[in-house]
Structure formats: C-alpha cells, structure tokens
Structure 1
Amino acid sequence: MPLRLRYVAGVSPAKWLRAWGERRADMPLEAVRVEQHAQADGLATGDIDLAFVRLPIDVDGLDADALNIVPLWEETAVAVLPRDHALADHETLSTADLDGEQPAPAQPDPAMTVELVAAGSGYAVLPHGVARLHHRKDVVAIPLTDAPTTRIALVWRVERDDDDIQEFVAVVRGRTARSSRGAPDETPAANPKAARAAKRATAQRATAKQAAAKRASRSRSRRRGR
C-alpha cells in the first residue's frame, strides 16, 4: 500500500517525491493536490497518511496532541491587482495603500478569485505561492510589507507514526539515508522558490522602511525651514 500524501495549492513537492523514489523504490508514494478541508477530512478518517498544510488546520474529532506538526517555511502575503491598476507598478505595498480599494469577492477556488481580480472586481490578498500558481498576464502580485505571513507544515497523525512516515519526514528535512531518526533536527528543507521569495520580500520591506524614513526626514526638514 502506498504512502498517501496530500498537499495544498502553493506547495511544490516534486523534489521530495524524486528523492523518495530514489530512496524507497519499494514504497510508492501517492501525492495529490487538494483543498485544505479535504486534507482535514482525510486526516480525520485516516484515508491519508501525510499532508503539507497551510496552518492553522482544524481536524474534526482530533485535538492538537493527536497530530504531529513539523513547521516548514513561511509564505509572504501579496496583493493581487489588475495589471492596469494605479498601484500595479509598485515594488511593494502596505495594507494602508489598499485602504479605500474594493476587495474582490473571495471564492473557494483561488483561481476564480484571481479571475475576478483580472475582470476588475477588486484586489485579493493571497499567499505568494498561491498567487504564483494562479499567475495570469493580466494581473500582478505585489508583496505586502506589513501583512501577516502564512506557514506551511507537514502533518500526520500520531497513531500513524512509523518508520515509513519518519523516513519521508527525513527526506523533507534534508537528512541523508544514514542519518539517525534520533539525531537533532536539521533546518527544514524549504521550497527553494518560496525561500527566494521570502528573501526578496524581506529586502523589499527593508527598502520600503528606508524610503518611509527618508520621506519623514524630508517632511521634518521642510517644517523646520518654515
């Protein structure tokens, strides 16, 4: 019986699937992208073994102690705007920049939300990975410097824990086949695209803060000169 893995939009598990195939050819891994509610249902019923989720996740009938949760990387929030929007040429935005703007009606399917943005129904705030997955030529995704980030985590049921599960966790964490299960945890092997995006967002936030400080300094200088 294969390991059953489910992952949310914005997660790209291909490199871990390749590593698993090279390491455990004897154990097939079935990976399917699903909505988070389907992950929660599958964990509750035991129909899936592992899930890459976007925290928080609420699993009916299970408390937090019933789940093993390994936090992985953080995702930057982005504002998705029509390409011809007045703010579309900004490198970064703050939530205050969106004051007075009309949000697009949120849809269960993020692709539909982005489609409404493209149609001019308003803006949307999405995790960077989701916006990248549903990118269109007629919209832009701009990092928000002060919006909360989201966290991707690997989750499985405590009662389902076994050597196969732990070996997949080791693959995700970047441990070699020789590493001991009891060895101290290494830094989680984050999605490289997400890691680069997070670095860019950090640099952009720093640039935005510096620009804001310069504007404030110029404003104070003008007031003193009056």
Structure 2
Amino acid sequence: MLTLSFVTGTEPGKWFTRFRERTRHGGLEAIDTDDALGELLAGNAALALTRLPDARIDDRFHVVELYRETPGVAFPKDYFLAAADGAVRPEELTGEIINWEPPASGEVDAGAVRDALQIVAANVGVVIAPRPLLKVLSKKLVEHREYAGSQATHIALVWKQDNDSGAIQDFVGIARGRTINSSRQVAPKRSAREKTLAKQARRDANGGGKGRSVKKKPAPKPRKRR
C-alpha cells in the first residue's frame, strides 16, 4: 500500500487509476490536503505531490518536478478585470486591496488563499496565487484570470531518500508519462485464477475447440506404369 498526500490545486486522479491498474503494491491511499509536504514530514504519507518552492525541502529528499503552474489573480464576479483581454498586468491592480499574494520567497499557503477568497467573494479586493489553485477554490461569486506579475510555481513529487521503494518509483514513472509498454514499467502479475479465466475466455472465443479446421494430407502421387 502506497500512501500519497497531494496538495490542493492538483488533480492526480488519472495517475491513481493507472497506478492501481498497472501495479501490485497493495493499492494506494490518497490524502487531499492544503499541506502535502506536512503530511510527509509527519509520517502520514510516504510520497507527497506538493508545490514548490518550499523552504522545508533539503538534501534529505528526492524531488521530481512535473509541471509549472501559471500565476493567476482572483476577483469578484462582474469586476472590471473580467473584461481583461489576456493576462492581467500588475499596473491594472494599482490601488486595489490585495487580500493575499505570495511572499518574496514564492511559497504558497493554500489555507491562507482559501480564507482570502472568502473576502473576495464578499466583493472586496483580489487574491494573487497559482491559477490552478484559484480554479479549485473559487466559488460562484469569484472569477480568475492569468496574472503577468508573479513568479511561477511548480508541482513536484517529493519523498525521503531513506524511504525509497518500488511503489514510489512506479508512481513517479507513471506521473512522468511512463506507459504500460515501457520496459521499466512492472506489468501486473496475474494470479492462477486470473490465468485460468483468461485461458477459458480464449477457449470460448474459439468455440470451445469445435469446428477447428483439420489440415488434410496431400493425396499420394500416382505411380508411373512401366
């Protein structure tokens, strides 16, 4: 059994399905949380799908970056920014109340973003955060657009170097796009019952062995008369 924590704003469901279908590691338990790395540090998860940068990550961990997140800005519905053509520029927010934005370190506090969006929903100010996170947390009274004035964040898989395993390596491979036909992907081993059922299915597909064509022996050539 592999236990994985994934940070709010990610949607790893397709990887979960592929992991369960392709491997025999006892399944996967997923923890949806605002602090995926915190679950890993607390010993509640062996692998974390988390957001970078994060000052808690050091040389004790393996880190595999998967993709970049686009910065975004959230604002009340029917706000003037809703008519923006393309990414919102920093100068367009001059004089606006910013309820939350990433600090200089670039670290994102998903819980703080969640709370700040409640203020935006009350028609007050804006929030600057990764757009995938805004997409997940925004309600009907909040809209969001791409923002051109903030550094990008990244989503990565993180795990402790002293806690590596075949299950973790298989999940990392799947997340990185490894297919079932890859030489590095471990194909699921079938049980004796699964093999028997597969053999029976092939037999039934061939009509249970009936009606098979029989190869005829060629007729003997006639002897020449002397």
TM-score > 0.5, shorter chain as reference? yes
Cα contact 1:105–1:116 (8 A) shared by 2:
no
Q: Please list the CA deviations of residues 9-45 of structure 1 after superposition, one character each: whole Å capped at 9, or x if unmatched.
A: 1100100011011112452100111122xx3333334
Give the length in aligned residue pairs. 176
Pairing 1:102–2:97 present: yes
Q: Please list the CA deviations of residues 76-117 of structure 1 after superposition, one character each: whole Å capped at 9, or x if unmatched.
A: 111111123222211321112112111126783533322210
- What is the 5 A alignment of 1:25-36? 25-36=24-35
In the alignment, the residues of structure 2 paired with residue 9 and residue 99 of structure 1 have an alpha-carbon distance, to the nearest angstrom, of: 29
Structure 1 residue identity aligned to 2:46: D
The unaligned stretches of length 5 or more in structure 1 are 183-226
Residues 180 and 45 (structure 1 numbering): CA distance in 2 closer, same or farther, change over 3 Å?
farther
What residue in structure 1 maps to residue 139 of structure 2? 136
SS in 2 for 1:87: helix
In the alignment, the residues of structure 1 paired with residue 8 and residue 74 of structure 2 have an alpha-carbon distance, to the nearest angstrom, of: 16
Give the alignment partner of residue 89 of structure 1, picking from 83, 87, 102.
Answer: 83
Identity of aligned residues (%): 32
Task: Return the TM-score normalized by structure 1.
Answer: 0.71
Residues 73 and 26 (structure 1 numbering): CA distance in 2 closer, same or farther, change over 3 Å?
closer
Residues 66 and 78 (structure 1 numbering): CA distance in 2 closer, same or farther, change over 3 Å?
same
In the alignment, the residues of structure 2 paired with residue 125 and residue 160 of structure 1 have an alpha-carbon distance, to the nearest angstrom, of: 35
The unaligned stretches of length 5 or more in structure 2 are 102-109, 186-226
Pairing 1:54–2:51 present: yes
Cα contact 1:67–1:158 (8 A) shared by 2:
yes
Task: Measure how far apart 1:179 and its partner are.
Answer: 3.1
What residue in structure 2 maps to residue 17 of structure 1? 16
In the alignment, the residues of structure 2 paired with residue 108 and residue 177 of structure 1 have an alpha-carbon distance, to the nearest angstrom, of: 37
In the alignment, the residues of structure 2 paired with residue 76 and residue 154 of structure 1 have an alpha-carbon distance, to the nearest angstrom, of: 18
In the alignment, the residues of structure 1 paired with residue 34 and residue 137 of structure 2 have an alpha-carbon distance, to the nearest angstrom, of: 15
What residue in structure 2 maps to residue 40 of structure 1? 37
Q: Which protein is richer in helix relative to its size?
A: 1
Cα contact 1:94–1:147 (8 A) shared by 2:
no
Structure 2 residue identity aligned to 1:141: H
In the alignment, the residues of structure 1 paired with residue 128 and residue 112 of structure 2 have an alpha-carbon distance, to the nearest angstrom, of: 14
Task: Measure how far apart 1:145 and its partner are.
Answer: 2.2
- What is the 5 A alignment of 1:204-215? none
In the alignment, the residues of structure 2 paired with residue 175 and residue 56 of structure 1 have an alpha-carbon distance, to the nearest angstrom, of: 25
Cα contact 2:37–2:50 (8 A) shared by 1:
no
Q: CA RMSD in A?
A: 2.2
Cα contact 2:113–2:127 (8 A) shared by 1:
no
SS in 1 for 2:82: coil
Give the alignment partner of residue 157 of structure 2, picking from 148, 154, 157.
Answer: 154
Cα contact 2:100–2:128 (8 A) shared by 1:
no
- What is the 5 A alignment of 1:118-137? 118-137=121-140
Residues 113 and 29 (structure 1 numbering): CA distance in 2 closer, same or farther, change over 3 Å?
same
In the alignment, the residues of structure 2 paired with residue 105 and residue 120 of structure 1 have an alpha-carbon distance, to the nearest angstrom, of: 15
Deviates more, 1:66-75 or 1:98-107: 98-107
Q: Please list the CA deviations of residues 175-197 of structure 1 after superposition, one character each: whole Å capped at 9, or x if unmatched.
A: 13453559xxxxxxxxxxxxxxx
In the alignment, the residues of structure 1 paired with residue 150 and residue 54 of structure 2 have an alpha-carbon distance, to the nearest angstrom, of: 20
